[in-house]
Structure 1
Amino acid sequence: MKNKLSVILFWAVCWGLAEAVIGFVLHFAENSAGILLYPFGAYCLFMAFEKSGKKAVVPVLVTLITAFFKLSNLAFTSPEFHYRVYFPVMAILSEGLITSGLLFITTLVPVQNLLINPGTKK
């Protein structure tokens, strides 16, 4: 469990910091920052999925933690520009959940591998 938690946190921090720092600047500079940031986010999700032993819940957790990182940008924006944080957070959640669903479908993960620690022995 510790290994999976470290994998989740590592890839969530990588994607979250990229979104919070690079995305913060790009979203104020242009409207299509997601085109530049999604490939890195997808890479983080794929790597977390692979490093965790192909547990389908891991990319979902990475996505949720990344969205919380991006919400930290609310502290640095004035209230009239909060939409520039909310919309990217919604995009992160939708990108992450769709990518997680595609990972689940394309790898044909057995049901017993969906949970991180089901508590049963084979």
Structure 2
Amino acid sequence: MRWQGKPGRKYTGGRIIRSRAKKRFELGGEDTNTLLGETNRKTAKIMGGCKKVRLLKANTAIVTDPKTKISKTVKIQTVSGNPANIHYIRRNILTKGAIIKTELGSARITNRPGQEGSVNAVLIPSTA
């Protein structure tokens, strides 16, 4: 589990002793780590009675061409770059900002698939 909130020390170097343990609603959620594969979703309850759609696996993306402003649903072939973590490339994990290879060419993911339930991307113009 991840811990969030105040650091463990004061600016003087002294320890901050927590008055109590974290409650369940104060804990962060687990990482979704959307993988490349047959599309699989899961809904999760969040604060306020709302729901989030967790995208566990995806094999298609909605890719927009910035020149023509036309969007198409295309198959994702592989993950070719990921600024969040270089090891995500090898494991084919889809996150916001990841560069994917599609049938139309390379595209950058513009949304957060683990929290929105879909993959939206913008075509990267080739510099050839």
TM-score by length of 2: 0.23
When Rg is computed on C-alpha atoms for both structures, the one with the higher figure is 2
Task: Identify, as 1 or 2, the structure richer in strand.
Answer: 2
Task: Identify, as 1 or 2, the structure richer in helix.
Answer: 1
Task: Return the structure number with greater relative CO, CA threshold 8 A, min gap 6.
Answer: 1
